[in-house]
Copies of this chain bind each other. A is one copy, B any other.
Amino acid sequence: MFSGAQISLYPMCDDYVARILGALSALDPYRDRLRIETDDVSTLLVGTPDLVFAASRDLFAAVAKTGVHTTMSLLVSRGCPGEPDDPICHPPEGGFAAPPDRAAMLVRVERADDIDLPIAAQFALLPLGMGEHMTPIYDCIGLLKDSGLFDRPKHFCSKLKGDAGKVFALLEACFEGFGAAEGHLVLSATVSANSPTKSA
């Protein structure tokens, strides 16, 4: 099953090019297990969801920890019928869960290491190719509310806040745990650190 993401990193500062280039080494531990391609709009990461979320988190943190206001947008996808299979992609051990194992997901998030980076995030879970798509969406929102990271509901998405280590773990858990096991699932997310705007 093809899986991966298009991610874009935005440091809000004059020397954003240097900050991004300086952070790229954060991807080095993943380069042998992810296919990585960059153009002028985004960077493609192709590989298993655990690596895609971990690499995104580490790249984001490498810039955000310098203290500048930094955001990242992510379009994460698995199981798109239009994508070719790639041997670098395979489902997580045990497969994508359907039905979701709520207790296991919450434990995974709770056990995720903090990385000393408070962030805000929001995301939409988008299960495609199924008639009853609101069921996994409502299940997902229910899980968020029990995760300790739920900030508030918003139109079209849910807002989270917490340490980046746990927030990225929660995004990964939702992406792997909801939607049909063999289905097409997209997650659209924005994460933000060091915003001068107070959280609403």
Contacts and interface: CB of A to CB of B under 8 A. Distances in A.
Interface of A: 2, 4-6, 8, 10-14, 16-17, 38-42, 44, 46, 69, 71, 73, 75, 77, 80-83, 120-122, 124, 126-134, 137-138, 154-157, 159, 184, 186, 188, 190, 192, 195-200
A6 B154 contact: yes
Contacts of A124: 75, 77, 186
Nearest to A12: B16
Nearest to A197: B40
The 7 closest A-B pairs by CB, nearest first: A39-B200, A40-B197, A12-B16, A10-B10, A188-B188, A73-B73, A40-B195
Contacts of A14: 12-14
A82 B125 CA distance: 13
B155 A46 contact: yes
A133 B138 contact: no
Contacts of A154: 6, 39, 42, 44
Nearest to A86: B155
Contacts of A198: 40
A128 B121 CA distance: 23
A169 B103 CA distance: 45
A17 B197 CA distance: 10
A42 B31 CA distance: 32
A122 B75 CA distance: 11
The residue among A40, A195, A196 with the most chain B CB atoms within 10 A of its own CB is A40
Contacts of A42: 122, 154, 190
A42 B77 CA distance: 22
A128 B122 contact: no
A124 B155 CA distance: 19
Given A40-B195, A42-B122, 11 more contacts: A6-B157, A12-B14, A40-B197, A41-B190, A42-B154, A75-B156, A77-B156, A82-B137, A83-B156, A126-B128, A128-B133
